[in-house]
Amino acid sequence: MQRREFLGFACACCAAGWGSIARAQSESAAAPGSVADWKVPAKFTRPDIATDEGGLWALMDREETRMRRSPFLIRDQALRDYVQSVACRLGAEHCPDIRVYVMHTPMFNASMAPNGMMQVWSGLLLRVENEAQLAAVLGHEIGHYLERHSIEKLRDAKSRLAFGQMLGLLGLVGAVGQLAMLAGLLGYSRDQERAADRIGLQLMHRAGYDTGEAVKIWDNLLVELKARPDGDPAKNSPLFASHPPAEERRETLARLAAQYPGGVSNEQALLDVIQPMRFDWIVDEIKRSQADESMALFTRMLAHKAQQPDVLFARGETQRLRAKGGDMEAAVSDYLAAAAAGGEPPETHRGLGMIYRSRGQAADEKASFARYLEMAPGAPDAAMIKSYVEELNG
């Protein structure tokens, strides 16, 4: 399906869905200041190129062209179409102006530029448990877009140079070391963040999603960041530093969600579309070398659904690499559980072999490495592992 045809189909589905959802919603009045007080604005028109805003749009269009060529762009059509469809379901009549780019970057983030260009990072897709949680994040970003918050931010900067610097950083998507600088250039005020939360909840509700999932994705992210040694999300995450205080935000989301119960979560739909890429994203998470955060993530994923061999491997590998306290014993336990579940990654047996090698358990080391080579004969480190086995055969 071509892009124009896909967007037309998605928007038609959104229009039909919104009509049926609106008829099913409760007609009881919401309290003043609630999401019911906000109305979706009319579609935006492209500003004249001679205006400041028009010039900024032209710069963003140029950046979007660069993004299409980025090595970090995930070019899986099924994934792109899926995330685009969620954004369209939320954006409804604004759907034709929203263009989604899924980027291979192992951090929790999504962002949207004033011209409708939206980035969704693979680290976010790894962390959401269902489609409704993804919709909560995308709805928040669309809320910023509909309220033109990024235009306000750029006007405050009063400098095209500052905007050009921001675009240069966007072109480096995937370079994690640039995140703090990017957050500083794009940071919204806390009032703008509060507004985006309220609007995002309304968009979720109108699209038929379970708004209670917005609280869950926030709680899940907090657990990860609190697992860090300093334990203060406001200090170690630009995301939390610019948002309202964690407890306030949680209470607000819970209150708004309670006004609109019901809706779907669509867990399986999300799992099906990310499955072909999920293990690569899990490996990316391990390579971030933020073991405490990764442990919180993998433990939460296993609490949500036990006996996931790829996640059991990931938690075991994270513990092996961290090597603190009882990590090695716990790693062996997770590796063995992954193997017992079946369908484990070959790297499970490499990890076991490495631990057995460090302990001098020759027979177990040899068996584990032999299983690894059997499952992954073309692995990049196959020659090294073969040399270990040959030493044992010595």
Residue 177: its pLDDT value, please? 38
Is residue 159 pLDDT above 90, yes or no?
Answer: no
Contact 298, 278 (CB under 8 A): no
Distance CA 188, CA 203 (A): 20
93-120 mean pLDDT: 92
Contact 388, 357 (CB under 8 A): yes
Distance CA 128, CA 221 (A): 10
More confident residue, 7 or 263: 263
Is residue 34 pLDDT above 80, yes or no?
Answer: no
Is residue 198 pLDDT above 60, yes or no?
Answer: yes
Residue 229: its pLDDT value, please? 83
237-261 mean pLDDT: 76
Q: pTM of the entire structure?
A: 0.84
58 pLDDT tier (thresholds 50, 70, 90)? confident
Distance CA 384, CA 394 (A): 15
Residue 176: its pLDDT value, please? 38
Helix (H) or strand (E) holding 173: none
CA distances from 330 to 257, 279, 316 (A): 38, 21, 7
Residue 53: its pLDDT value, please? 75
107-127 mean pLDDT: 92
Identity of the residue numbered 117: M
Residue 234: its pLDDT value, please? 57
Give 110-167 as a DSSP string: EEE-TTSEEEEEHHHHHH--SHHHHHHHHHHHHHHHHTTHHHHHHHHHT-HHHHHHHH
Residue 25: its pLDDT value, please? 36
Residues 27-36 as b or e (16 or more Cβ within 10 Å = b): eeeeeeebbb
10 Å Cβ neighbour count for 187?
Answer: 16
Residue 260: its pLDDT value, please? 86
* Residues 6 or more apart whose Cβ sits within 8 Å of residue 9: 1
Domains assigned to the chain: 3-259 (no CATH), 278-393 (1.25.40.10)
Strand partners, 173: none
Residue 146: its pLDDT value, please? 92
